Amino acid sequence: MLVMNLFVNKVYRLILLVCLFVSLLSCTPYQKPLTIGAAPWPNFEFAFLANELGYLNKNQYSLLELTSSTSVIQAFQTGKLDVAFLSLDQVLTLVALGLDLKIISVVDNSYGGDALMAKPEIKSLQDLKWSAIGYENKAAGALLLDEVFNLTGLNNQTVQLHEVKQNEIKGAYLQNNIDALIVREPVKQQLLALGARELINSKSLSLPITNVMVARGDIYQEKEGQIANFVRQFYRAHMFYKKNTEDALTAMSVRLQLYPYFLKQAFLNTRFIDSKQSLMRLSGSPSNIQLQAERLSKLMSEKHMLGQIHTDLSSLITTRILERAIYE
């Protein structure tokens, strides 16, 4: 009887070990939280709203709001982020550097959300001659600065250029050594409240500033389900915003330390692209976003703003994750 009991105990322990092993195998892709990063921008906030609403399991997702677009690029480049929110020009810059990534969703277009803001005494673009302009070199602001040069004939010999990151803009404006700044929402609203004059914005660009969601090429298949669920909850948070606008604005404003009115105005300067519209822009051969990327790559190369890209741009795009987010 004793021998039988010992045998049963051993079998029971073996079964427990096997179950534990199988359980661990099934959880392997989710052991490490998916890291997602973005700099402040109105429609990127739905990722953080999804988190605050409890849509995202905190054991599976880690969200980081970084201080500037440059910080997001660096974090994604060094592998600290699995998923990032970037502008299309930033994506091309990373691809030219040899980074393996996939565009998994098209978030929005800037519709005045990127702008050149100046001190009140500067009344026109022509008044910028010999002025000091602050901008973030690795962000979409470089495209807007190039447009200013095209319209005015100014160049980096007739203006002083200073690197000013997104989180440094308000402080730089209040100092006397910067005359104008290229900014993004929602910082643009803060400068307007301080009396800044808007001289030009992203509506003037021949190609729109388009913001996308990207995933690292080495993990997007392994963590496809996890990424798809994040994308699903991102769009779910946007639906919450549409149905409960005031509540959503309050929640997002508290986290951003902004007045809700500022954030509400900031949203007006963007054009959100819903999940099915995004899928349409990613689909086809060539896809809409591929054609846009090719035109933007050509423009940036002509302006010496982009290194040589050796990758077929169609290979940067996947519809699989967004399809799962929408239809599963």
Residue among 116, 296, 295 at smallest CA distance from 204: 116
- The arithmetic mean of pLDDT across residues 261-289, rounded, is 98
Say yes or no: 226 and 304 in one domain.
Answer: yes
| Residue 53 to residue 63: CA distance in whole angstroms | 13
Helix (H, G, I), strand (E, B) or coil at 134: strand
Tokens, residue 209: 């500033």
Q: How far is CA 293 from CA 38, 40, 144, in A?
A: 21, 23, 17
Confidence of residue 283 (pLDDT cuts 50, 70, 90): very high
pLDDT > 70 in the chain, percent? 90
β-pairing verdict for 210-216 and 83-87: antiparallel
pLDDT value of residue 31: 64
Say yes or no: 21 and 65 in one domain.
Answer: no
Which of 133-147, 224-238, 294-308 is the most confident on average? 224-238
Q: Which domain holds residue 186?
A: 114-204
Say yes or no: 99 and 199 in one domain.
Answer: no
pLDDT in tens, 251-269: 999 999 999 999 999 999 9
| Residue 176 to residue 131: CA distance in whole angstroms | 11
Say yes or no: 182 and 237 in one domain.
Answer: no
| Residue 135 to residue 216: CA distance in whole angstroms | 27
Q: What is the CATH number of the domain that holds 37?
A: 3.40.190.10
| Residue 166 to residue 276: CA distance in whole angstroms | 31
Which of 3-17, 21-35, 313-327 is the most confident on average? 313-327
pLDDT in tens, 42-69: 999 999 999 999 999 999 999 999 999 9
Tokens, residue 85: 């929110």
Q: Has residue 18 got a pLDDT over 60?
A: no
Confidence of residue 294 (pLDDT cuts 50, 70, 90): very high
Q: How far apart are the first and last CA of the chain?
A: 53
What domain count does the chain have?
Answer: 3
DSSP labels, 236-295: HHHHHHHHSHHHHHHHHHHHHT--HHHHHHHHHTEEE--HHHHHHHH-BTTBHHHHHHHH
pLDDT in tens, 92-121: 999 999 999 999 999 999 999 999 999 999
pLDDT in tens, 143-195: 999 999 999 999 999 999 999 999 999 999 998 889 999 999 999 999 999 99
Say yes or no: 152 and 76 in one domain.
Answer: no
